[in-house]
A and B are shown apart, each in its own frame.
Chain A
């Protein structure tokens, strides 16, 4: 099956940096997405990685190592509004749109 692992919960304080890790099964890998989901809302697209390396978008960055089956989402200058669930989703095979999600990491940002 598709084994996607990420921590269940993390906490941090405002202004800090937090790194959320995600590991996955490498066979057939064809891209990794990170989503943010606030309670009661739909997931919001944050980032996409298919090649090794770091993708930076403002306060959020995402890293991928395909050989290690590993990704992380880095959140800088944390704000209270960043408290949410962060979902790692992997695409295996060639069909776009078929994503398999990890259980999500619930991040709580304290003042």
Chain B
């Protein structure tokens, strides 16, 4: 298994500001993934973060709004830019360990006022 930590665990932000969420894994992984879970909804994949290359975004998500960094094989950040109340969600990072296991971090609960 993998131990995944995220910072911050929660935050309350003003609209128009930006928040950077950090994800740290206790082992080296090729790809990390960022998901969003809006209130009462299931998880939606935002993007795939590859070390040494630009992130790959899913339909409906763009780099200007959700810039991602992946400086090494154990760490990634997701920034939620120019926030609005619609960005209030739980943001989770995830890693895959082999083809049959995928683990999630504890999540960052974001509230935008």
A97 within 8 A of B: yes
Most chain A CB neighbours (cut-off 10 Å) among B43, B103, B104, B107? B43
B67 within 8 A of A: no
Residue of A nearest to B100 (CB): A48
Complex contact A42–B102 (CB within 8 A):
no
Complex contact B43–A45 (CB within 8 A):
no
Complex contact A48–B101 (CB within 8 A):
yes
**CB<8 Å pairs between A and B, sample of 8:** A41-B107, A44-B104, A48-B100, A97-B96, A98-B33, A99-B33, A99-B45, A102-B42
In the complex, chain B residues 82-111 whose Cβ is within 8 Å of any chain A Cβ: 92, 94-96, 99-107
Complex contact B105–A42 (CB within 8 A):
yes
Give B contacts to A, CB under 8 Å. Answer: 31-33, 41-45, 48, 92, 94-96, 99-107
Complex contact B107–A97 (CB within 8 A):
no
Residue of B nearest to A102 (CB): B42
Complex contact A101–B100 (CB within 8 A):
no
Q: Which residues of B contact A42 (CB under 8 A)?
A: 92, 104-107
Known contacts A45-B101, A104-B42; 9 additional CB pairs below 8 A are A41-B107, A50-B100, A95-B48, A97-B94, A98-B48, A99-B33, A99-B45, A100-B45, A101-B44
Complex contact B94–A101 (CB within 8 A):
no
Q: Which residues of B contact A104 (CB under 8 A)?
A: 42
- Nearest Cβ on chain B to A22's Cβ, whole angstroms: 12
Residue of A nearest to B95 (CB): A97
B-facing mask of A6-29, CB < 8 A → 1, else 0? 000000000000000000000000
Complex contact A101–B43 (CB within 8 A):
yes
Complex contact A31–B99 (CB within 8 A):
yes
Selected from B41, B44, B48, B92, the residue in CB contact (under 8 A) with A97 is B48
Give Cα distance in the complex from A50 to B105, angstroms.
24
- Nearest Cβ on chain B to A3's Cβ, whole angstroms: 13
Give Cα distance in the complex from A87 to B43, angstroms.
9
Complex contact B107–A45 (CB within 8 A):
no
A103 within 8 A of B: yes
Complex contact A99–B92 (CB within 8 A):
no
